[in-house]
Structure 1
Amino acid sequence: MKAGDPDDEYFRTAEEEFVRRRGAAMLLSPRDWSLIGEWKAAGVPLRVVLQAINNIFDAFERRAPAGRRINSLSYCRQEVLALNDLYRTLHAVEAGRPQSPEDTAGITAAARHIGRLARRVRASMALASKERRDPLVACLARVAAELKHMRKEIQGGLLEPRLLEDRLRLFDQDLLEAARASLPAGEVASLEAAADRLLGRAAERMTPVARDRTRRAHQARLLREITGLPRLTLFD
Structure 2
Amino acid sequence: MNYFNYFTEVEEHFQRARASALFLLSPLDWAMVESWKNSGIPLEAVLRGIDASFEKWRSRKQKTQMVNSLAYCTQAVMKEAEAMANNIPSSAVGAAEESPFPLEAVKAHLAKCAEALRAAAGYEQMAESLDALLTGIEEHFQHLEELDQRLTALEDKMSAIARTRLSEEELFRMRRELDLQLKPYRGKMTADQLIRLEKTYLDKKVYEHFRLPRLSLFYMS
Q: Does 1:175 align with 2:158?
A: yes
Q: What is the aligned counterpart of 1:25 among 72, 85, 106?
A: 72
Q: How does 1:1-16 map to 2 (within 5 A)?
A: 10=42, 11-12=44-45
Runs of 4+ in 1 over 3 A off after TM superposition: 9-19, 21-24, 40-45, 157-160
Look up the match of 1:116: 112
The answer to whether the 8 Å contact 2:50/2:73 transfers is no
Q: How does 1:28-177 map to 2 (within 5 A)?
A: 88-89=97-98, 106-123=102-119, 125=120, 137-138=121-122, 140-155=123-138, 157=139, 161=143, 162-177=145-160
CA distance in 2, matches of 1:170, 1:17: 29
**What residue identity is the alignment partner of 1:232?**
L
Query: Comparing both chains, which one has the higher relative contact order based on Cα–Cα distances under 8 Å and sequence gaps of 6 or more?
Result: 2
The answer to whether the 8 Å contact 1:195/1:218 transfers is yes
The answer to whether the 8 Å contact 1:192/1:219 transfers is yes
CA distance in 2, matches of 1:111, 1:173: 21
1:160 offset after TM fit, Å? 6.0
Number of aligned positions between the proteins: 152
CA distance in 1, matches of 2:50, 2:175: 21
- Unaligned ranges ≥5, structure 2: 1-40, 54-67, 75-79
The answer to whether the 8 Å contact 1:199/1:214 transfers is no
SS of residue in 2 equivalent to 1:88: coil
SS of residue in 1 equivalent to 2:72: coil
Summarize the Cα distance change of 1:110–1:44 in structure 2 as closer, same or farther, 3 Å threshold.
Answer: farther
* Cα displacement string for residues 23-59 of structure 1 (whole angstroms, at most 9, x for unaligned residues): 44149xxxxx9xxx9xx999599xxxxxxxxxxxxxx
Q: What is the aligned counterpart of 1:195 among 160, 170, 178?
A: 178
**What residue identity is the alignment partner of 2:106?**
A
- Unaligned ranges ≥5, structure 1: 1-8, 28-32, 46-83, 91-101, 126-136
CA distance in 2, matches of 1:111, 1:44: 29
CA distance in 1, matches of 2:110, 2:190: 36
Summarize the Cα distance change of 1:223–1:24 in structure 2 as closer, same or farther, 3 Å threshold.
Answer: same
> Structure 2 length as normaliser, TM-score?
0.54
Q: Does 1:209 align with 2:192?
A: yes
CA distance in 1, matches of 2:115, 2:167: 27
The answer to whether the 8 Å contact 1:199/1:215 transfers is no
CA distance in 2, matches of 1:176, 1:220: 6
Summarize the Cα distance change of 1:235–1:221 in structure 2 as closer, same or farther, 3 Å threshold.
Answer: closer
CA distance in 2, matches of 1:143, 1:160: 22
> Structure 1 length as normaliser, TM-score?
0.51
Summarize the Cα distance change of 1:43–1:231 in structure 2 as closer, same or farther, 3 Å threshold.
Answer: farther
CA distance in 1, matches of 2:134, 2:148: 13
1:224 offset after TM fit, Å? 1.5
1:116 offset after TM fit, Å? 2.3
CA distance in 1, matches of 2:189, 2:182: 10
Summarize the Cα distance change of 1:109–1:159 in structure 2 as closer, same or farther, 3 Å threshold.
Answer: closer
